[in-house]
Structure 1
Amino acid sequence: MSKSILWKCMYMARDLRSGALFDAIKRYCHGDVLDVGGWDFFESIKKRKVGFDSWTVLEVERQDVDLSDDPRVKLVIGDGCNMTFEDDRFDTILNIQVLEHVFEPIRMMEEMTRVLKPGGIMIILLPTTSTMHMAPYHFYNFTRYWSEEAIRHCGLEKVSLTPLGGVWTSMASHLLYFVMQSVRVKGMSSPEIKRGLLFYLLYPFMLLFAALSFPLCLLFGLGDLQEEANNHLVVVRKPSN
């Protein structure tokens, strides 16, 4: 399985607007790192000065991507909800926009907690207002309250819980995704969902509205309300024994 050029561009855009994520990674990332479902996220990491001893990418299947020529980086094929790693194995665990694609996200949280060393750090990026993508493997969005309950459930200590984006940036994102869904970009549309006659009649006006509204939404997003954040950046620590 490989990413299309479109998806690579989408992830580049995510990286550009996720400065807080990379700040957290640079601050907390250390030692032996597990990147759960990271695909080629390491490509974004190696451009930045991030300290680590080893970097393990856990994926459910082999990916058509050249992770790195760095001998410290390796790909492991396995199930993030049933890991084969021993307890207390990693110093840092990353989970970047992965839990929404897992049918049992709390199970993955439990497994990540198990393999994280006491005192280790887990960094999670969770979508809150995401539209459908990577269908049919998009199951959830998560509120900050889910994050707080999951932290308690797993016995972790909250370091920070930061909303990224808000109402207006969510609207801008939805307008962009509307255009891609309307032309049935793979992974963003379901073939079983049919278009009605009114859709085709109104579609030119919808596109005009989206084109005019998108830059305004980005502008208003500079002073956004964060109750409906695009994502939440969660940093937690496993208590020391």
Structure 2
Amino acid sequence: MNSVANTCGLSEESLKSSLLTDGYYSVRRYYVDLFWLRTIQRVGHGCRVLDLGGKKDNKRGYFHIEKVRPDLAVQYVNIDEKTNPDFLCSVYDLKIGSESYDAVMLSEVLEHLDQPEKALSEAFRVLKPGGNLLICTPFLFHKHADPDDFGRYTDSWYRVKLSRLGFTSVHVENQGRLWSVLAMYCKLLSGIFRGLDSKPWKKKIACRLVNIGFRALWKIEGSGFLDDNGIVKGATTGYGVVAVKGIVE
């Protein structure tokens, strides 16, 4: 793995602090930001990166690739012209030459595609041999349309599908366990309660109760409690995937 300096000061510690102090920063977004903060270090200095479905501006969360890795040449693909993409086209039919990029990113995108395997095939095509495919997707997360929501995929799905396409060294990580999933929904409930049209004291009590639950569950997540239990470790907010395009000799 390459070691490239993070120039904006974003760290795992600052993300954890934000999760505990920012009422609008979700557990899921924390894991997404953490994955990209760690994984983008795999990409070498000055490399070309293609973000499929991402946005140049109005990004969610605290991880902004241009701030963390300003040395990278990042380009965007999107079907929404309002996002000002470099390539206004479908991820199923990229108007890009083969073997053009050192890394391809898919951040919280695959679940919104009705043909995810076709998008992965295109990602494989535009990657240089030895290039990195980097994916982050939710698993135990509520349906959210952008504009549609088609599916959730397990770690086995990623290993099988990516290996068949020709990717090697496919690594899939769980992003949290059962405690993170429960903590995530406690925090989401707090946001729902804040928006209720009810007496202020009722909202305050409800928010305080779910916040206590969130903090307790988050503490359990970091304690290693029931680490080996199948249900606990089988429940996760999502997956982070790193795969390398094989080099044909």
Shorter-chain TM-score bucket reads 0.7 to 0.9
**Corresponding residue for 1:48?**
68
* CA separation of 1:63 and 1:226: change in aligned 2, threshold 3 A: farther
**Corresponding residue for 2:218?**
218
Stretch deviating more after TM superposition (90-99 or 36-45): 36-45
**Corresponding residue for 2:113?**
102
**Corresponding residue for 1:28?**
43
Q: Contact (CA 8 Å) 2:78, 2:88: kept in 1 or not? A: yes
| Correspondences of 1:72-83 after superposition (within 5 Å) | 75-83=86-94
Q: Contact (CA 8 Å) 1:35, 1:57: kept in 2 or not? A: yes
Q: Contact (CA 8 Å) 1:131, 1:177: kept in 2 or not? A: no
Amino acid of the structure 1 residue aligned with 2:218 = L
Per the alignment, in what secondary structure is the counterpart of residue 36 of structure 2? helix
Cα deviation, residue 46, structure 1:
2.1
Distance in 2, matches of 1:134 and 1:149, equals 27
**Corresponding residue for 1:192?**
none
Cα deviation, residue 81, structure 1:
1.4
1:122 aligns to 2:133 (yes or no):
yes
Runs of 5+ unmatched residues, structure 1: 1-8, 66-73, 186-202
Cα deviation, residue 162, structure 1:
1.6
**Corresponding residue for 2:236?**
229
Per the alignment, in what secondary structure is the counterpart of residue 160 of structure 1? strand
Q: Contact (CA 8 Å) 1:33, 1:90: kept in 2 or not? A: yes
CA RMSD after TM alignment:
3.2
TM-score (ref. length: structure 1): 0.72
Runs of 5+ unmatched residues, structure 2: 1-23, 197-202, 225-231
Q: Contact (CA 8 Å) 2:51, 2:76: kept in 1 or not? A: yes
Amino acid of the structure 2 residue aligned with 1:46 = E
Per the alignment, in what secondary structure is the counterpart of residue 150 of structure 2? coil
TM-score (ref. length: structure 2): 0.70
Q: Contact (CA 8 Å) 2:112, 2:146: kept in 1 or not? A: no
**Corresponding residue for 2:53?**
37
Identity %: 19
Q: Kindly provide the CA deviation profile for residues 75-121 of structure 1, in whole angstroms up to 9, marking residues without a partner as x.
A: 22110112111221211111111101111111111111111111111
Matched positions, count: 207
1:92 aligns to 2:103 (yes or no):
yes
Q: Kindly provide the CA deviation profile for residues 195-220 of structure 1, in whole angstroms up to 9, marking residues without a partner as x.
A: xxxxxxxx999867634422222121
